[in-house]
A = this chain, B = another copy of it.
Amino acid sequence: MELLKQRIREVGTVLSNDIIKLDAIMNHMIDPVLTTAMGKEFARLFREDRITKIVTIESSGIPIAFAAAQELGVPMVFARRKKSLNADVTETYSERVPSFTKGLVTDIMVSREFLDTEDRILLIDDFIANGDAARGLIRIIRRSGAYLAGVGIAVEKSFQAGGRTIRESGVRVESLVKIKAMQPGSIQFE
């Protein structure tokens, strides 16, 4: 997706060989025009898959997943990263995953009532690095009995193994852009 590459070139700050800061468009401030275009692109890629629900994980995945949900006309569910007083933990699917950028382990959870064996799920997230969060969500979707139609990722860091290992497990993964290498001052797209 050329528009996303262009915006990454404009605002992306590579902090190290494996961390890029996209706070100005995806992870802290959201550009609604770009995000709506990303949602439309995911909708186009998965239009034939009769998606019934989009699943993402808080927080940066939410705007992109929401834009795709608007376009496909289906609900969006965001997995939560921790418990609040409003969550009934006996009624949730929960998986423990390490977070690449946060440097810690979090529990992600989805209420059982929002995943159904009839569902055809499109999983959307902003980044894929090692793929731990995506694999945790995939385990949750499979435990629910729903069908995973595919995974949509805004930015795949293809020098890390997440996207590849999920594809090798037989899941369709579509990334809007793939970064094959980066270092402070330089980003190389595939």
A-side interface residues, number (CB < 8 Å): 40
Residue in B32, B62, B99, B113 whose CB lies within 8 Å of A70? B32
The reply to whether A85 and B102 contact each other, CB–CB distance below 8 Å, is: yes
A104's closest neighbor in chain B, by CB? B84
15 further A-B pairs in the complex, CB-CB below 8 A; given A30-B69, A59-B62 = A23-B111, A24-B113, A27-B86, A28-B77, A28-B110, A28-B114, A29-B75, A29-B76, A29-B114, A30-B66, A30-B75, A35-B66, A62-B63, A84-B99, A85-B102
| Number of identical monomers bound together in the oligomeric complex | 2
CA distance A69 to B34 in the complex (A): 12
Q: A93 on the interface (CB 8 Å rule)?
A: no
Report Cα–Cα, A75/B63, bound state, in Å.
12
**CB pair A103 B76 closer than 8 Å:** no
Closest to A114 in B: B29
- Please report the C-alpha to C-alpha distance between residue A103 and residue B30 in the assembled complex, in whole angstroms: 28
CB nearest neighbor in B for A57: B59
Q: Which of A36, A70, A113 has the most CB of B within 10 A?
A: A70
A49 contacts the other chain (CB 8 A): no
**B36 and A80 within 8 A (CB):** no
Whether B78 pairs with A103 at a CB distance below 8 angstroms is no
A120-145 contacts to B, CB under 8 A, are none
A69 proximity list for chain B (CB < 8 A): 30, 32
Interfacial chain B residues near A99, Cβ < 8 Å = 84
Contact indicator B29/A86 (Cβ below 8 Å): no
Q: In the complex, what residue of chain B is closest to A72 when comparing beta carbons?
A: B32
The answer to whether A164 has its CB under 8 Å from any CB of chain B is no
What residue in chain B is nearest A27 (Cβ atoms)? B86
CA distance A30 to B78 in the complex (A): 8
Q: Is the CB of B111 within 8 A of A28?
A: yes
